[in-house]
A = this chain, B = another copy of it.
Amino acid sequence: MSEQDAVRGEVQVTERSRVRRKRDRGRYDRATVHAILDDALIAHVAVVADGAPVVLPTTFARIGGAVYLHGARGNRLLRALAAGSDACIEVTLLDGIVFARSAFNHSMNYRSVVLHGTGSAVEAEDEKRRALDAVVERMAPGRSRQCRPPTPEELRATLVVRFPIEEASAKVRDGGAIDEPGDLDLDVWAGVLPLTLAAAPLAPDARLRDGTGVAPVPPWGRGSGAG
């Protein structure tokens, strides 16, 4: 699938990828799935190891119709992915806390994506470089052209895994409290506390000389909705 194709149409809906709870919150269009992935900095990657589930957090980046993960060559989770183990990758952006009049109807506003499938190791050097650039670009646009690129040794020490965005779903909750009709007259505050990932001022490295390089301008802390 070309990168252009990847932003159109729907992902593959299977028995396990279909949203089961609160089905009206399920989304299967690629535009929504990709937008959520592109707003997140951390993915939660699950595999089965010795018969038991393991889930670990990791950085990632999306290029076209795939997400790319990377780590040290010896990373066991990545090695399992590279070997084609069944995996599940989940991303969640927390957008707010929903205070309802009853404890029961308290909720969260969020956008999440769940991917099922199998990954594969990226061996081609240009695709590896492109994937690692994309991870750095996620941290601050333009950054991959400002910092020193990977050496051949660094590239060899890095395992990059491609995971297709095919069998997938997104789930979105937004809006206010959904209270029982009988609760609306209670003297209880209800509403939403919006939450967002916010940036504090950049903290320069102690060894940085004045005027060195271009400070990154990350896409956070300006109400972008990333969180």
Segment 38-70 of A: residues with Cβ below 8 Å from B? 41-42, 44-57, 59
The SS class assigned to the A binding surface is mixed
| Copy total for this chain | 2
- Are the C-beta atoms of B104 and A150 separated by less than 8 Å? yes
Q: What 10 pairs across the A-B complex have the smallest Cβ distances?
A: A198-B198, A189-B213, A46-B55, A46-B53, A194-B200, A46-B46, A190-B205, A44-B44, A52-B86, A191-B204
**Of A5-13, A27-35, A119-127, A130-138, the one touching chain B:** A130-138
Q: Report 12 cross-chain contacts, Cβ distance below 8 Å, ordered by A residue.
A: A21-B71, A53-B54, A55-B88, A100-B147, A104-B148, A140-B193, A186-B213, A188-B212, A189-B213, A193-B202, A196-B198, A197-B198
Q: How many residues of A contact B (CB 8 A)?
A: 98
Tell me which residues across on chain B come within 8 A of A90, comparing CB atoms.
Answer: 44, 55-57
Residues of B within 8 A of A88 (CB): 46, 52-55
CB distance from A207 to the nearest CB of B (A): 6
